[in-house]
Amino acid sequence: MLGAMLGEAWHAMGCNRMRTALTMLGMVIGVGSVVLMMAIGQGAQYAVAQTISTMGSNLYILISGSTNTSGVRTGSGFGPTLNVADAEAIAELDDISNVAPVHQGTQQLVYGAKNWSATVVGTTPAYLDARAWTLTSGYVFGESDVRSATRVALIGRTAAENLFEPNEDPLGKTIRIRQTPFVIIGTLGAKGQNLDGRDQDDTIIIPLTTAQRKVFGVPFAGSVRTVVLQASSAEAMPAVEKSVTALLRQRHRLREDMDNDFYIRNLAAAADSAAETTRVMSLLLGAIASVSLLVGGIGIMNIMLVSVTERTREIGIRMAIGARQKDILTQFLLEAIMISIAGCLIGLVLGISSALLINAITNMVIVISGGSVLVAFTVAAGVGVFFGFYPARKAAALDPIEALRYQ
Amino acid sequence: MPEAVIRVAGLGKSYVTAAGLFPALKGVDLTIRRGEFVAIMGPSGSGKSTFMNLLGCLDTPTMGDYYLVERNVAHMGSDELAILRNRTIGFVFQGFNLLPRMSLEDNVALPLVYSGIEREVRRAKGRQMLARVGLDGYAKSLPARISGGQQQRVAIARALINSPRLILADEPTGNLDSHTGEEIMALFGQLNDEGITIVLVTHEADIAAHAKRQVRFFDGHIVSDIINDSATLARKPASC
């Protein structure tokens, strides 16, 4: 019976191709825009997630406190309140996977006739683990290099591109930072921009001790401005923050009534807010696209209503030769569903292909997930049923005599 | 005596109008037996169309009982009535009422859609019925491509497809010229000879002359019910 009804619906669609096509158009545009908008939104989320992951996950940054000299207060990071021993003590705590004291600044790099200003990061090997930073060639300096302050360096891609010829391998070359020669023992993998838009690859990483003694110089031996620390998991972060704070207060012999002489900042918070922004944006895009889907559904309802009026006589004839109310209902409902599913499929194809086209032309990140396609499809089919039901019920409720008389 | 196909007792129908309740049919008693060929006549407003709609299960009476093949349909629901219209009654309309965008075989086979018959079986049966009314070879044509008389033959084929006990025809020759009308009436006569009960509404006396029995309506009542002995003699052999 359903097969016969499907045939009838198919036949009716074929009878008035222009009307069917116009009805479908609303659905095509609705589904197409939902798919496209979701692809763009998810693409943006993916791009932000990528950027965040280059920063390293579950990171805290400890910054030394400010100083107060004759009433002149410096900003944070200038007081000699954190030292390497603090970092080593923190590493002993639970749920800490990496601790790296960091001393960084901008310095002029010189190689042969070329020179270039880049961020010089003096740290320990744990820094690379915390930032999930890998090498493309060479090897990472070890703890022994940090202890003996060897003059070795890892070079980032942007710095390397500016100091060396394109076909030149930086590995084994000697560059100078403030007259001190450094041998490049590794090249860093590319990380791209961070959330501030700063190029993370414009960097040289050298042992902390070398940086402090040969490059920056420090007023108090062993003191550092910042310590990067990584919790073992996102869940452990609040506990880590508490235990690190307690440990440092104890080590710095701070009384109950005294403020912290250091700052602890959660880098995940910034990442979360960026992720939240894109999530809201993709929700917004989805919402706008859903409106067009709704309009498409209303289009189906309009055309079906017109169709019911136009085919009143046909409905009367069908009833006179034995169609029950539910047969008429089924026929019109099936027509609406077929139109919306067909429109849906065309919309999917158009949405996906325009997403791919945008991706090809603009390099915008596009993510087409099976989930979003499924959602668009189900919603569209649902819209077809929902908006097809009223006209179908109207058709089924017609009085056969009135319908037969209708001209 | 053959069994009654139609038996109505005190059948009445009133319509609600702005001026109050309007009785279109005021308590009619009539029995039509298997194999009869009845013409229902009367001026417009006499209640004959209302009576036809009730006989055709398109409408329900406001009083009285209607037994179609000994089943009282006066209180049936719309689904049951639809099944009766599909299986027990065949309709022929004045305006043919074919679906314009459907091939003739599909038009003829349309009632079978609602009997749950498969497409290929439907089409085969549709072509068989077309052949029976002399239109073999027209299976794939559209209604607009054939003449009015041919369209009415198609409509008759459609009415016959479920082997109904009863054919109801409402002014079947009203849209046809007199010659074609005669041909259609000859076809009805032939079907009646095969044992199908036929009830038709007409206001033309020469059409009614084909029927074996003439029932005349006036003002919601039956005013005459006569046997037409000359009918079988007047009938020409069907020329199709």
- Boundary residue ending a domain (A260, A285, A314): A260
For residue A16, give the chain B residue with the closest CA.
B101
pLDDT above 80 (res B238): no
**A251 in the same domain as A139:** yes
User: Of all residues in chain A, what percent carry a pLDDT higher than 70?
Assistant: 97
pLDDT for A387: 87
Query: Could you tell me which residues come within 8 angstroms of residue B69 by beta carbon, excluding any fewer than 6 positions away?
Result: B3, B5, B88, B165
Q: What are phi and psi of A297, to 5 degrees?
A: -65, -40
Substitution target from A6, A317, A407 for chain B, most B beta carbons within 10 A:
A317
Cβ <8 Å between A324 and B91: no
Cβ <8 Å between A324 and B53: no
| A198 interface with B at CB cutoff 8 Å | no
pLDDT for A295: 85
pLDDT above 70 (res A1): no
Domain count, chain A: 2
Cβ <8 Å between A401 and B59: yes
The tens digit of pLDDT for each residue in A261-293 reads: 888 888 777 777 878 888 888 888 888 888 888
**A245 in the same domain as A98:** yes
pLDDT band at B239 (very low <50, low <70, confident <90, very high): very low
| A401 interface with B at CB cutoff 8 Å | yes
Query: Could you tell me which residues come within 8 angstroms of residue B86 by beta carbon, excluding any fewer than 6 positions away?
Result: A321, A322, A323, B111, B114, B115, B162
pLDDT for A67: 66
User: Of all residues in chain A, what percent carry a pLDDT higher than 90?
Assistant: 22
pLDDT for A257: 82
pLDDT for A260: 83
pLDDT for B240: 43
Tokens 């009785």: give the residue: B23
**A289 in the same domain as A151:** no
pLDDT above 60 (res B8): yes
Burial of B229 (0-12, 13-18, 19+ CB in 10 A): exposed
Cα–Cα dist B203/A401, whole Å: 20
pLDDT for A25: 87
For residue B53, give the chain A residue with the closest CA.
A401
CA distance to partner chain A, nearest, from residue B229 (Å): 33
Domain assignment present for A61: no
pLDDT for B232: 57
pLDDT for B143: 93
**A43 in the same domain as A94:** no
Cβ <8 Å between A322 and B79: no
By residue range, what is the domain housing residue A361?
Answer: 2-52+273-405
**A335 in the same domain as A356:** yes
Tokens of A283: 């929700």
Domain assignment present for A325: yes
**A172 in the same domain as A304:** no
From A1, A314, A325, residue closest to B99, measured CB to CB = A314
pLDDT for A256: 83
| A396 interface with B at CB cutoff 8 Å | no
**A242 in the same domain as A294:** no
pLDDT above 50 (res A399): yes
Roughly how many angstroms between the first and final C-alpha of chain B, as a whole number?
Answer: 32
**A223 in the same domain as A118:** yes
A190 or B238, greater pLDDT:
A190
Domain assignment present for A59: no
The tens digit of pLDDT for each residue in A367-388 reads: 888 887 888 788 877 888 888 8
The tens digit of pLDDT for each residue in B114-154 reads: 888 888 899 999 999 999 999 988 999 999 999 999 999 99
Lowest-confidence segment of A184-188, A220-224, A338-342, B215-219 by average pLDDT? A220-224
**A346 in the same domain as A247:** no
pLDDT for B29: 94
- Boundary residue ending a domain (A229, A260, A291): A260
The tens digit of pLDDT for each residue in B182-194 reads: 999 999 999 999 9
**A127 in the same domain as A10:** no
User: Of all residues in chain B, what percent carry a pLDDT higher than 70?
Assistant: 96
Cβ <8 Å between A319 and B97: no
- Boundary residue ending a domain (A227, A260, A293): A260
Cα–Cα dist B151/B209, whole Å: 23
Residues of chain B positioned with their CB less than 8 A from the CB of A314: 99
pLDDT band at A45 (very low <50, low <70, confident <90, very high): confident
Cα–Cα dist B198/B212, whole Å: 10
**A279 in the same domain as A254:** no
Cβ <8 Å between A404 and B58: yes
Domain assignment present for A228: yes
pLDDT for B86: 93
Tokens 């044992």: give the residue: B195
The tens digit of pLDDT for each residue in A78-111 reads: 667 888 888 889 988 888 889 999 988 889 999 9
Q: What is the DSSP annotation of chain B?
A: -PPEEEEEEEEEEEEEETTEEEEEEEEEEEEEETT-EEEEE--TTSSHHHHHHHHTTSS--SEEEEEETTEE-TT--HHHHHHHHHHTEEEE-TT----TTS-HHHHHHHHHHTTT--HHHHHHHHHHHHHHTT-TT-TT--GGGS-HHHHHHHHHHHHHTT--SEEEEESTTTTS-HHHHHHHHHHHHHHHHTT-EEEEE-S-HHHHTTSSEEEEEETTEEEEEEE-TTHHHHPPPP--
| A397 interface with B at CB cutoff 8 Å | no
How much is the mean pLDDT over chain A? 86
**A228 in the same domain as A113:** yes
Going from N- to C-terminal start, the domains of chain B cover 96-163
The tens digit of pLDDT for each residue in A139-181 reads: 999 999 988 889 999 999 999 999 998 888 999 999 999 889 9
β-bridge pairing A203-207 and A114-123: parallel
The tens digit of pLDDT for each residue in A13-37 reads: 777 788 888 888 888 888 888 888 8
